[in-house]
Amino acid sequence: MMIRAGIIGATGYVGSDLVRILYHHPEVELKLLTSKNHKNQSYNSVYSNFNKICEMICDEDDLDSAINQLDIIFLSLPHGVTSSILTDKILKNVKVIDLSADFRLKSVDEYVEWYNIKHSNANLLKKAVYGLSEWKREQIKNSKLVANPGCYPTCALLCLLPLIKEGILEEEHIIIDAKSGVSGAGRSLNLGTHFSESNESTKAYNVLSHRHTPEIDQELSEVNGNEISVIFTPHLIPMNRGILCTCYGILKKSYNYEDIKKIYEDNYENEFFIRLMKKNDLPETRWVKGSNYCDIGFSLDEKANRIIIVGAIDNLVKGGAGQAVQNMNLMFDLEENIGLKSIPMFPV
């Protein structure tokens, strides 16, 4: 029996990639698309790349009626909205993957501090599973509410967690330098992402105040067992898609290349979507665009016990829609990579 899926907030960039992926998923029937800004419009009139493919009409956001016709709902809404509309009643009838930040952080106080908005449903935080697929697989399988990770945390955590799990990094000296294409800012009009404002320029933004920081800290701390607070600086670069994370760490003692390589292989060798680079090769965003892959490589300064880990993902796919579908596959006990085997696009 086909999985009946709906997307609430289908006309953002992540929503568009969700439609693209689910439309080709062999086990999914896309039953509902909603949009506040494009209500009653056909989907292919919003995104012309869906001409002759998806002529569904964008409905209004009505979760109560949606649960009667769906098996899973993807919520791709602004932060603060999901927590105000999601209820226990809804979760009794349908599985939910939330692509906002509303259920990523376990502390309501921390959520309010970083997002500066009220959280309207703290009780559901206990039921939500953080959906980093490779690291929370068993919890995701048994959950009805999955909080899809942010794009930056997805890349940074996949890079750092194997070393954090082994306890070989100095916890107080982790630095993450991340760069993202402009689609990470969403589709809404924003002066900072206008062509003439962002083209031919690179800038750091939200320095020491980016909302993804506590998400990274939370997940690293959980695996390590000690409280970890990273230095995280995001940058905007003039390209459409992609994230490159460069993570800097100090090792607690001397390790050689083969030691570190084995740690990554022990954790990721059998992971379909993690591609470990060969020695002296490092990831580039162009080799993951349009795909659910995460490429990871590292360089080691054995004399100084320093390591630099580099990761690359497509922020809209592995950092958004692709990981959401990967989580859906887990929730319905499907092959994890079904519908997600697309080869990265190049050139693009």
Domain containing residue 105: 3-127
Task: Check which CATH number belongs to the domain holding 105 and give it.
Answer: 3.40.50.720
* Spans of the chain, pLDDT less than 50: none
Q: Quick one: 37 and 172 in the same domain? A: no
Q: How many domains does the chain have?
A: 2
> In this structure, are 186 and 109 located in the same domain?
no
Residue 141 lies in a domain: no
Active site residue 245: no
Query: Is position 76 within any domain?
Result: yes
The answer to whether residue 330 is domain-embedded is: no
Cβ-contact 16, 5 below 8 angstroms:
no
pTM: 0.96
In this structure, is residue 243 part of a structural domain? yes
Q: What is the CATH number of the domain that holds 290?
A: 3.30.360.10
Same domain, 110 and 47: yes
- Determine which one of 54, 58, 151, 159 is catalytic: 151
pLDDT of residue 189: 63
What does the pLDDT read at residue 45? 95
Q: Do 161 and 108 have their domain in common?
A: no
- Residue 294 maps to a domain: yes
